[in-house]
Structure 1
Amino acid sequence: MVITAYPIVNNLIIDKINMRKQIFRLLERLSAEAMGAGHKLVINLFEALSPCSGMVVSGYWPMRYEINLLPCLNALCSYGCRTALPVILPDEHVLIFRAWAPGDQLVKGLYGTLEPSHEAEVVYPTLLLVPLVAFDRSGNRLGYGGGYYDKTLVSLREWLTIQAIGVAYAVQEVDCVPVGAHDVMLNGFLTENGFIEISE
């Protein structure tokens, strides 16, 4: 099911707030079976993106209604990839990524997120698995409003070849995400139903 986006009007912030509310209401109604769809991501991830042993891959610790990425991170570690989680640097309004593997300690970060400890090594992922609220087939992502990933992706792409892949339930797809000048497009979207590649 594809949700029709709210019409884009002059107030971009209101459009984004309304779309977030719409998606959150939808996710609240997901069945228990759908909530277990994270395991389906593993097959789709390896078929579509072919991660290599030794590659640094960033993920996220799932919160609220986010699709469970932990099975993917476990599989990536088993395959020989180095996995990492984002850490928010509020003063710089940007993210860094610290090495993390299943079983490693996590600490509470800004906005209630869980992050690797400050002792964990800072790493630079070439594959980023990015959480989101909504996405469209033009490569646009609606996040939570902080702009951390947008600024981080711009910074990384200045000196590193990366793939930034949004991860979500298939029902989080919309016709058109309201976007502003500083919103950054992603390279594709991974859902429990498959992979959506975005052509450049």
Structure 2
Amino acid sequence: MNPSIARNPLAQAKKTWRLQLREARLAASSDGIANAALTANLDALIAHLASDLAPRSIGFYWPLPGEFDARGWIAAWLAADASRRAALPVVAERHAPLQFYCWTPGAAMREGHHGIPEPAAQDAQDAALPDLLLVPCVGFDREGYRLGYGGGYYDRTLAAWPAAQPPLTVGIAYEACRIDDGVLEPEAHDLPLDAVVTEAGAHLAGRLRSR
């Protein structure tokens, strides 16, 4: 990522949005009904992807406070088909693209950068290149643009992904974190997500909008 991004004049506005939306997200994440609806909507989106887009491997995230916990959904998705694979991101070094390693329920974990658990098994045979990524959102808009934590990890990761195998990207968020159209100005390095799933439904964007 270009270091000039850190000096972008939109940075302060995004910082303000993050503070506001993280509070809203923390409140929304405590709603059991909202989480059940989000789970059902995620299940429906993945189940209804066309055969050429149906993922065999999914990269997801270890939930931080306020984030939807996808581990239960991932465990059920894996249990439905023994050929499926799931993976969690690993920060090998700060300001570098994420690396993904296989995860199963009960897998040994270790503390990684930023104190986030990551798979303990990180040999070459444990590495993964998921077909689809579940991406946590601090905020989002209907065009599929995401407001993250500001570290740029997913931007760098997608920019470095093999061009022949781009993953589908599905943001996970709550409606309380949706930003009005035109407010979240995309920057040169921003790519829209292919969908954002919330408790209200799936907002299709990117490559899925035309499907």
Q: TM class by shorter-chain length?
A: 0.7 to 0.9
Q: Can you give the 5+ residue segments of structure 2 that lack an aligned partner in the other structure? A: 1-7
Residue 40 of structure 2: which of 36, 43, 55 is its match?
A: 43
CA contact (8 A) 1:99 1:122 kept: yes
The alpha carbon displacement at 1:156 in A equals 2.0
Partner of 1:13: 11
Is 1:153 equivalent to 2:158 in the alignment? Answer: yes
1:139-170 residue CA offsets vs partner (Å, 9 max, x unmatched):
10011111110111122251204210000112
Question: Would the aligned equivalents of 2:195 and 2:202 in 1 still touch at CA under 8 Å?
Answer: yes
Which TM-score applies when normalising by structure 1? 0.85
Secondary structure of the 2:98 match is strand
CA contact (8 A) 2:29 2:68 kept: no
Do residues 74 (structure 1) and 62 (structure 2) align?
no
Residues 48 and 193 of structure 1: CA distance in aligned 2, closer, same or farther (over 3 Å): same
Question: Once the two structures are aligned, what percentage of the paired residues are identical?
Answer: 33
Distance across 2 between alignment mates of 1:78 and 1:58: 16
Instruction: Read off the aligned partner of 2:79 and give its amino acid letter.
Output: S
Q: In the alignment, which of 83, 88, 91 is matched to residue 88 of structure 1? A: 91
Structure 1 unmatched ranges of 5 or more: 1-9
Compared CA separation, residues 143 and 157, structure 1 to 2 (3 A):
farther
CA distance in 1, matches of 2:18, 2:70: 20
* Partner Cα distance (1:70, 1:196) in 2: 22
The answer as to whether partners of 2:175 and 2:198 remain within 8 angstroms in 1 is yes
Cα distance, 1:31 vs. partner? 7.3
Corresponding residue SS for 1:29: helix
Matched with 1:113 is 116
Distance 1:168 1:188 in 2: 11
Q: When the two structures are aligned, how many residues end up with a matched partner?
A: 190
The match for 1:24 is 22
TM-score, reference length from structure 2: 0.81
Once the 2 structures are TM-superposed, how far is the Cα of residue 172 of structure 1 from its aligned partner?
1.2
- Rounded to whole Å, the distance in 1 between the matches of 2:63 and 2:71 is 8
2:4 matched to which residue of 1? none
> How much has 1:54 moved relative to structure 2?
7.4
Structure 1 residue 132, shift from structure 2 partner: 1.4
Using a 3 Å threshold, how does the CA distance of structure 1 residues 54 and 183 change in structure 2: closer, same or farther? closer
1:173 and 1:45 map into 2 onto residues whose CA distance is: 17
1:129 corresponds to 2:134: yes
Correspondent of 2:143 among 138, 142, 148:
138
The answer to whether the 8 A contact 2:26-2:67 is kept is: no
